[in-house]
Structure 1
Amino acid sequence: MIFSSRDSFSIVFVGGIGLLIVGIWVIFQPNKKHADLENARELWNINKPERYSYTLTTGCMFIEQHEIVHNEYGHISTPLGGAPKAMPVTIEDLFTQVENANLTAYKALTEYHPYFGYPVLFKTDGSKEVFDDECFIQVTNFKVLDSSET
């Protein structure tokens, strides 16, 4: 038998291989997030409709919702449920936020729409040391509009 659980060399060798595999995974994980982001951004650029609407829900310390309509004139935002009147981010802005979080946040998780590619759900935890700094952005009710609906 080449490897034995009683042989210290075998234990060190197998442990070293395990650490090497984990190290390679850690190194290439950010590259996978970047590749996923770029693939999603490309899907969005290819499949983005001219006119569309969606509900944007954001949350950190409290939750806000906006109904967004995008047409040939730009974005129109309607606050829902007492949300402030400030213009929320656009889908294009979401890609930038995901990219920045992938580079700087302690944890970032993004789910993308399979056809259009826009971020459907984006969760981030900015710092391991900061309690309660987790935020999310969710896009729901995405709908392609025809010219009579804008």
Structure 2
Amino acid sequence: MNLFDLRNPFVALIVLGSLIILIYSSWGISAVLERSRQLDQFEQYRAYWRSQNLQNYSYVVEDGCMFGSTTSANVSSGKHNFITFENQSFGGNATIEDLFNEAEKAIKEAHQLDLRFNNQYGFPEAMRVDWSKDIIDDECSYEVTEFKQNEL
């Protein structure tokens, strides 16, 4: 009896099972590597944002998680002054740092994430998150618009 005779159903089953395990293992490894790459890129953008130490700027955050909301903020000498509030998801304090924290959480926990950073300043400019593949209506989106550095 030849141990590796593929005409033997038991040997064929072992070979087929091994191939399936190999395929799923490589898929899992690639998913872990992709998250690691996203987290590394994220950390580079966060470090770049912080290195600029911007103290005077303004922006608008539009977010939607079940309900849409808009926050306008003016930052002067590093202190936030929130101008308008509509259905606040962040409780009226949507800072750029809050968006970085939400992006980091999404990279680590979300089922699917589309994340775009601002080319000039490095903050999360647009983010679409599907937190769970099994839950309907758990998707969220965030977008920073009208970002500008203010002169004193």
TM range (shorter): 0.7 to 0.9
1:90 paired with 2:95, answer yes
Shift of the 73–95 alpha-carbon distance from structure 1 to 2, 3 Å rule, reads closer
Conserved 8 A contact 1:43-1:115: no
Conserved 8 A contact 2:68-2:87: no
Q: What do the CA deviations read for 1:121-146 (whole angstroms, capped 9, x no partner)?
A: 11111111110110011101100001
Aligned equivalent of 2:114, options 88, 109, 118: 109
Distance in 2 between residues matched to 1:51 and 1:142, nearest whole Å: 11
Shift of the 23–73 alpha-carbon distance from structure 1 to 2, 3 Å rule, reads closer
> What is the alpha-carbon root mean square deviation over aligned residues?
2.2
Please say which structure displays the higher CA radius of gyration: 2
Conserved 8 A contact 1:52-1:144: yes
Which residue is equivalent to 2:135? 130
TM normalised by structure 1 equals 0.77
Conserved 8 A contact 1:48-1:116: no
Conserved 8 A contact 2:118-2:125: yes
Q: Within 5 Å, give how 1:66-77 maps onto structure 2.
A: 66-72=71-77, 74-77=79-82
The number of residue pairs the alignment matches comes to 132
1:61 paired with 2:66, answer yes
Unmatched runs of 5 consecutive residues or more in structure 1: 1-7
4+ long deviations beyond 2 Å: 18-25
Amino acid at match of 2:32: I
Unmatched runs of 5 consecutive residues or more in structure 2: 1-11
TM normalised by structure 2 equals 0.76
Which residue is equivalent to 1:119? 124
Among all aligned residue pairs of Structure 1 and Structure 2, give the percentage whose two residues are the same amino acid: 27
Distance in 2 between residues matched to 1:102 and 1:73, nearest whole Å: 27
Which residue is equivalent to 2:39? 34
- Alpha-carbon deviation of 1:42? 1.1
Shift of the 84–31 alpha-carbon distance from structure 1 to 2, 3 Å rule, reads same
Deviates more, 1:94-103 or 1:19-28: 19-28
